[in-house]
Chain A
Amino acid sequence: MKEYPTEPLKCWQKAKKIREDYYKDFAAAKEKGGIRWAGGAWSFSAIPAGLGDDVYCLTGEPYGASVAWNKEFALKCQEATEAKGYARDLCSYMRNYWGSILLNKYVFGGEFPKPDFIWQDHICCSHAKWYQVASELEGGIPHFCIDVAVGPYHDLNENRLNYVVSQLHDGIEWLEKVTNRKYDDKKLIEAVYNECRSTSLWAEICVLNKAVPAPLDEKTMYSLYVLGTLMKHTKVVADFYEELRDEVKDRVARGIAAVGNEQCRVITDTQPPWAFLNIFRYLEKYGCVSVGSLYTFGLIGMWEVQEDGTWGPRKTPQQKGIKIRTRDEALRILAEWNLARPEWQHFYSPQLKSEMMIRIAKEWKLNGILLHYNRGCEGLSLGIAENRLALMKAGFPVMTFEGNMGDEREFDEARTIARIDAFMESLGMSKLKE
């Protein structure tokens, strides 16, 4: 049996520090006279950047995931939300977030920092409503939400793009009004360049995982991709991803593996049950590495089909030599860029997700696929049963497991482990270590 060399990531501590600073800075924003906003990880975060350098954000999904990771606190949040009359089957990130407001506790310590405004976009049924409720719970903070549900990218036309771009224009006027600040287009343009750079780079990093052995595994990738969900529009993140890309490239060149005994490769689809990331460690007992998920690849990565027909990073405007000069140009590029996000496509048809996953299965040389029937996210589990059928039809073994990304009451660890055992057996794998 083959054993590959392994070594820790050199830039690991840096990633940790960026993340820590992000949450600290948000909490301390007021001490610096700064502005705080909250919204989703999918929101057009480059836009508030035009308000100044002292603008800090808190993106809801990664925050909800951080809460989930802290099982005890998560339970308190969920119970507080339920006590307010909200149903238990609603988005668990959202419930963790609301719970923090209700308890007035920030998962990183102290009181829950109240944002000055909310800046969100809407494609899943919960998006706009999440912050409608958050705004009310916070005593009525101003709230602006952009409707991005304009159909799949391959059907994009002028009318659809204009709908999003014109809302972005309105949004900027609104931001000026609620913050009483003058908007700086230069800062916007910078942020757009950064966002394109960091999201294209993340796709490039994921592509490097096509290598055997895979230089990264899913669990590690979560700690890295998260930076893009926090502030994809910043130079800090774009620069970090450049550094990471170079390091991962070097790992591939030197044959460094994420899982030393890699024998078998799988991928997952949506968010994992955050409180139980140890299932990925369990896979390693079989020499099985999860090389990522459609979620990590497609939420932060921006992709396009390359000249050789494979999936790879999308060319940024800078790489194409495009010079952004005006606000309108910046907004058009930003809108178009975001509308191509892989994770937005399958809101319109499960087939689009199945096609992406089949492509990944082939190009990343997978032996099987794990589908998380995630009770915590209605958005990304949309059409999941159809994905299962399509993947099996395409000849890929599929294991499903039911769980919840943010509410541990809905995850049965023992049952999932038993399923993994059965699945590994069906793939002809046996446990290499206990």
Chain B
Amino acid sequence: MFQKFKEWYENRHDYAKEWKEKTGGKVLGYFCTYVPEEIIYAAGVLPVRIFGSHEPQDVTEPHIFSMYCPFCRDCLAQGLKGKYSYLDGIMIAQSCLHIRQAFTSWQLHIPINYSYYFLMPNKVQSPRAKPYLIGELAEFKSSLEKWSGKPISDKDLDRGIEILNVNRRLMRQIYELRRNANPPLSGLEAMEMVVSSQLVDKKEHNEELEKLLCELPTRKESRNDGVRLMIVGSENDDTQFIKMVESLGATLVIDDNCTGSRYFWNEAVADESRLVAIADRYIERPPCPSKDWEERRRLPHLLKLAKDYNVKGAILVQQKFCDPHELDIPAIREYFNKNGIPSLTLELDVTVPVGQFKVRTEAFLEMLRGEELF
């Protein structure tokens, strides 16, 4: 049922190349999930998120100081090694400094004919963020028009918004099924589904999701969920890690990752002005830690997810050196603790030390199971 998503996830580069050949369209690589994909779809361009490969490399040493996160170096490495040579452009939405580092090095060293730094506001909690963002969306729109040589009409924007909204809605419906006892999908399958949505044409992705939704509720081979877990943290497309956790008699039933629910949780609500609708969506989405201030809005959101999905514990993961997540984790840990949700913190590197993590996860699961006995 989930085969297609896995294929897309594994063969992302072939997919993008074929897409280009088939459509003659442009492909735009992006570095952060705050990019307004609606406008990119409206322009007929395919947005593709730039990921790493989880393989050790040594090509980024001259470009990135070693205290920056492994994810950003892994991303840049892919570019330097020519894995993304099919990209027509790259863009970033103002993100953490780490991934910005990968973007600017890419601009400097990998020939590309279009690059764009989208000034997403950080203080999304300020009432001033929305008008500012609308202005930035308009700038981006005209930049894309110039690049693609075509004006972007309201109709185009409606189409872009609709494609994105359908994708979000369908994934949300699938996530809803994870609330059930013995959910019909594993955390690994969910991850491959969301990550592939960031890699392929969402029109196709939507069709696949529709099919999946017909079959999934009655899926036979539903697994025993074991210990229900939540995963919270930074970028994470580490399927090996998820596989390992789920092999220990646990199921990841919900997440707060930008490769998971943070990416698609809310839709753009129609408005007379399309840019207003889009701006609202990015302001209102579940925030990344670097945008979650002064108030901590992540905390109640996380707790609600934990309750809605009936989790017994949470795994907090972060990329090594990831400052935004490092800055949130103690607060999350404490808050979860106060609310009766034990957590385990793990630090990801390019390659996951599966053996060591396994021991720690096992101990954590044992503790959670032990709690159930009493």
Residues of A participating in the B interface, judged by any CB pair closer than 8 Å: 84-87, 89-91, 122, 124-126, 128-129, 132-133, 135-136, 143-147, 149-151, 159-160, 162-163, 166-167, 170, 347-351, 373, 375, 378-379, 381-386, 388-389
**Chain A hits for B94, CB < 8 A:** 149
Contact A349 B107 (CB under 8 A): yes
- A263 CB to nearest B CB, Å: 31
Q: Does B266 contact A (CB under 8 A)?
A: no
Contact indicator per residue, chain B 330-342, by CB within 8 Å of chain A (1) or not (0): 1101000000000
Contact A125 B96 (CB under 8 A): yes
Closest to B134 in A: A159
Q: Does B97 contact A (CB under 8 A)?
A: yes
Contact A89 B100 (CB under 8 A): no
- B315 CB to nearest A CB, Å: 16
Closest to B95 in A: A125
Contact A151 B128 (CB under 8 A): no
Q: Contacts A84-B330, A381-B65; is A128 near B294 (CB within 8 Å)? A: yes
Contact A385 B64 (CB under 8 A): yes
The residue that A170 contacts in the complex, of B105, B128, B324, with Cβ under 8 A, is B128
Cα A278 to Cα B212 in complex, Å, equals 66
- B96 CB to nearest A CB, Å: 5
**Chain A hits for B281, CB < 8 A:** none
14 examples of A-B residue contacts, CB within 8 angstroms: A86-B330, A122-B123, A132-B327, A133-B331, A143-B294, A144-B294, A147-B129, A160-B135, A166-B128, A170-B127, A378-B97, A383-B104, A385-B63, A388-B62
Q: Does B222 contact A (CB under 8 A)?
A: no
- B76 CB to nearest A CB, Å: 11
Q: Contacts A89-B321, A129-B324, A151-B117; is A145 near B64 (CB within 8 Å)? A: no
Contact B101 A85 (CB under 8 A): no
Contact B132 A162 (CB under 8 A): yes
**Chain B hits for A351, CB < 8 A:** 104, 108
Q: Does B244 contact A (CB under 8 A)?
A: no
- A259 CB to nearest B CB, Å: 30
Q: Contacts A128-B294, A160-B132; is A386 near B105 (CB within 8 Å)? A: yes
- A106 CB to nearest B CB, Å: 23
Cα A126 to Cα B321 in complex, Å, equals 12
Cα A50 to Cα B61 in complex, Å, equals 48
Contact A163 B128 (CB under 8 A): yes
Cα A124 to Cα B290 in complex, Å, equals 9
Q: Contacts A128-B293, A385-B63; is A170 near B327 (CB within 8 Å)? A: no
**Chain A hits for B324, CB < 8 A:** 125, 129
- The count of A-to-B residue pairs whose CB atoms sit within 8 angstroms is 129
Chain B 311-348 residues near chain A, CB threshold 8 A: 321, 323-324, 326-331, 333
Most chain B C-beta atoms within 10 Å of own C-beta, residue among A86, A122, A128: A128
Contact B97 A125 (CB under 8 A): yes
**Chain A hits for B328, CB < 8 A:** 129
**Chain A hits for B326, CB < 8 A:** 86-87, 89-90
The residue that A386 contacts in the complex, of B63, B126, B128, with Cβ under 8 A, is B63
- B193 CB to nearest A CB, Å: 29
Cα A389 to Cα B60 in complex, Å, equals 13
Additional 10 contacts, C-beta under 8 A, given A159-B132, A167-B128, A383-B101:
A122-B122, A128-B123, A133-B327, A145-B123, A147-B121, A162-B132, A163-B131, A378-B97, A384-B65, A389-B63
Closest to B61 in A: A385
- B151 CB to nearest A CB, Å: 21
**Chain A hits for B67, CB < 8 A:** 89, 375, 378, 381
Report, nearest first, the 7 A-B pairs whose CB atoms are least far apart. A159-B135, A147-B123, A163-B132, A85-B330, A128-B293, A87-B326, A129-B327
**Chain A hits for B105, CB < 8 A:** 350, 383, 386
Cα A373 to Cα B68 in complex, Å, equals 11
Q: Does B136 contact A (CB under 8 A)?
A: yes
Q: Does B286 contact A (CB under 8 A)?
A: no
Contact B128 A145 (CB under 8 A): no
Cα A381 to Cα B68 in complex, Å, equals 10
Cα A348 to Cα B68 in complex, Å, equals 16
**Chain B hits for A159, CB < 8 A:** 131-132, 135-136, 139
Q: Does B70 contact A (CB under 8 A)?
A: no
Q: Contacts A122-B122, A170-B126; is A385 near B294 (CB within 8 Å)? A: no
Q: Does B289 contact A (CB under 8 A)?
A: yes
Contact B289 A129 (CB under 8 A): yes
**Chain A hits for B289, CB < 8 A:** 129
- B70 CB to nearest A CB, Å: 12
**Chain B hits for A378, CB < 8 A:** 67-68, 97-98, 323
Cα A384 to Cα B62 in complex, Å, equals 10
Contact B323 A385 (CB under 8 A): no
**Chain B hits for A160, CB < 8 A:** 119, 132, 135
**Chain A hits for B136, CB < 8 A:** 159
Cα A135 to Cα B96 in complex, Å, equals 22
Cα A278 to Cα B155 in complex, Å, equals 65
Cα A202 to Cα B62 in complex, Å, equals 34
The residue that A385 contacts in the complex, of B62, B100, B126, B290, with Cβ under 8 A, is B62
Most chain B C-beta atoms within 10 Å of own C-beta, residue among A143, A150, A163, A384: A163
Contact A347 B97 (CB under 8 A): yes
Cα A381 to Cα B127 in complex, Å, equals 32
Cα A87 to Cα B327 in complex, Å, equals 8
**Chain B hits for A144, CB < 8 A:** 294
Contact indicator per residue, chain B 267-300, by CB within 8 Å of chain A (1) or not (0): 0000000000000000000000110011010000
Cα A143 to Cα B295 in complex, Å, equals 9
Cα A124 to Cα B327 in complex, Å, equals 13
- B41 CB to nearest A CB, Å: 24
Contact A382 B294 (CB under 8 A): no
**Chain A hits for B117, CB < 8 A:** 151, 348
- B143 CB to nearest A CB, Å: 12
Q: Contacts A85-B329, A89-B67, A159-B136; is A147 near B126 (CB within 8 Å)? A: yes
**Chain A hits for B126, CB < 8 A:** 147, 167, 170
Contact indicator per residue, chain B 194-215, by CB within 8 Å of chain A (1) or not (0): 0000000000000000000000
Contact A129 B293 (CB under 8 A): yes
Closest to B60 in A: A385
**Chain B hits for A85, CB < 8 A:** 329-330, 333
Closest to B128 in A: A166
- B45 CB to nearest A CB, Å: 22
- B246 CB to nearest A CB, Å: 27
**Chain A hits for B101, CB < 8 A:** 382-383
**Chain A hits for B139, CB < 8 A:** 159
Closest to B321 in A: A89
Cα A132 to Cα B297 in complex, Å, equals 12
- B85 CB to nearest A CB, Å: 21
**Chain A hits for B331, CB < 8 A:** 133, 136
Cα A268 to Cα B333 in complex, Å, equals 40
**Chain B hits for A132, CB < 8 A:** 293-294, 296, 327
